[in-house]
Structure 1
Amino acid sequence: MPTLTRLAAAIIFAGFALYAGEIYKTLYEYPPRSRNGTVVLAAVAALVGWRFVGRHVDARLVQSIFQTLQGVILTVFLSLVIIGSYTVFWRGYQMRYSSLEDAFLGFVGVFVEHLVRMSDIDFLLLVGGMIVGTGIVLTLIFRWAEARRFDR
């Protein structure tokens, strides 16, 4: 069922992902010029915000922050699966893999490469602050929407 909280979660998550994706690019030695990864991240984040986070956010602040944390972890995981799969297929068409085993190891390598790059402490602090801020904002939106609904 569409609700204001789900819509807000989708929009906030997509905006959060766009900003974090652009900051993430600065962690590369040679930052990519393409915005494809950031767009994929934002689309996945909007979907996770709508389907998962917005559905589970409620009036409890700690619960909402925890749901936001789970949503960020799910967004990162799904984005890495999509980007890793794309990279493996792209490299496969260039004949860089001689077997399925090499392709799987290439997928895991892409996954691990991004996770290691994300382990920068400044980046993690930024994401942590955004998680807490998003949880607070979503809780306030939920409380406002529920108060408005019960006033009718």
Structure 2
Amino acid sequence: MPTAARLVAALALAALAFVVSGQIMPLMPENTDFGYFTHVNMALAAVVGWKIIGPRAGRGFVPGVNNGLTGMAVLVLLALFLQGAVEMFRLAHRHVYDDPFEALAAIFTIGLEYFFIMAVPTVLITLVIGGAVVGVIVDVSAKRWK
């Protein structure tokens, strides 16, 4: 059922994904083609906000912060998996992998490589503070528009 908290969670987490995607782009190699990188991350963030953060809103300040941090962590894990899968398919079209299991294992390897690229203090601080702020905003909106 649509609620104001779900809408606010989707929009706030999408805004956080937009900011963090902009911070990650300069960290990648110079010849990287980003394509729909930011758009995909924002859409994924909207879904995570709607499905995970929104329904758990309105329980108080500390649970709100925890809710935002949980949603941010789920978003990062799903985005790393999705971006790793996209890169694996790009490499699979070049016949890099010998069998399907090697290609499936490469999704996690590529995702882990992307995590180490994005694991710089500015990005991590933005994610933690942004996740907490999103949780508080969603909690306040759930209490205000019941």
* Fold match by TM threshold 0.5: yes
Pairing 1:57–2:57 present: yes
How far the C-alpha of 1:31 sits from its partner, in A, is 6.8
Residue identity opposite 2:82 in structure 1: I
How many residues align? The count is: 146
**Partner in structure 2 of residue 149 of structure 1:** none
Kept after mapping to 1: 8 A contact 2:68/2:136: no
How far the C-alpha of 1:106 sits from its partner, in A, is 2.2
Q: Alpha-carbon deviations, 1:68-122, whole Å to 9, x = none?
A: 1111111111122222122212211111111234313422221111111122112
Q: Distance in 2 between matches of 1:132 and 1:71?
A: 10
Which 4+ runs in 1 deviate beyond 6 A? none
Q: Distance in 1 between matches of 2:46 and 2:12?
A: 8
Q: Distance in 2 between matches of 1:129 and 1:120?
A: 14
Kept after mapping to 1: 8 A contact 2:17/2:42: yes
Which consecutive unaligned segments of at least 5 residues does structure 1 have? 147-152
Pairing 1:138–2:144 present: no
Q: TM-score if structure 1 supplies the norm length? A: 0.87
How far the C-alpha of 1:7 sits from its partner, in A, is 0.6
- Pairs within 5 Å for 1:6-45: 6-30=6-30, 32-45=32-45
Kept after mapping to 2: 8 A contact 1:25/1:31: no
Q: TM-score if structure 2 supplies the norm length? A: 0.90
Range with greater deviation from structure 2 (59-68 or 93-102): 93-102
How far the C-alpha of 1:29 sits from its partner, in A, is 4.2
- Pairs within 5 Å for 1:110-149: 110-146=110-146
Question: Which structure carries more relative contact order (alpha carbon 8 Å, separation 6+)?
Answer: 2
Give the greater-gyration-radius structure (CA): 1
Kindly, what percent of the aligned residue pairs are identical?
23
How far the C-alpha of 1:26 sits from its partner, in A, is 2.1
Kept after mapping to 2: 8 A contact 1:14/1:42: yes
Residue identity opposite 2:49 in structure 1: G
How far the C-alpha of 1:3 sits from its partner, in A, is 0.5
Q: Distance in 1 between matches of 2:132 and 2:81?
A: 25
**Partner in structure 1 of residue 4 of structure 2:** 4
Which consecutive unaligned segments of at least 5 residues does structure 2 have? none
Range with greater deviation from structure 2 (2-11 or 101-110): 101-110
SS at 1:95 equivalent: coil
How far the C-alpha of 1:138 sits from its partner, in A, is 1.4
Q: Distance in 1 between matches of 2:104 and 2:138?
A: 38
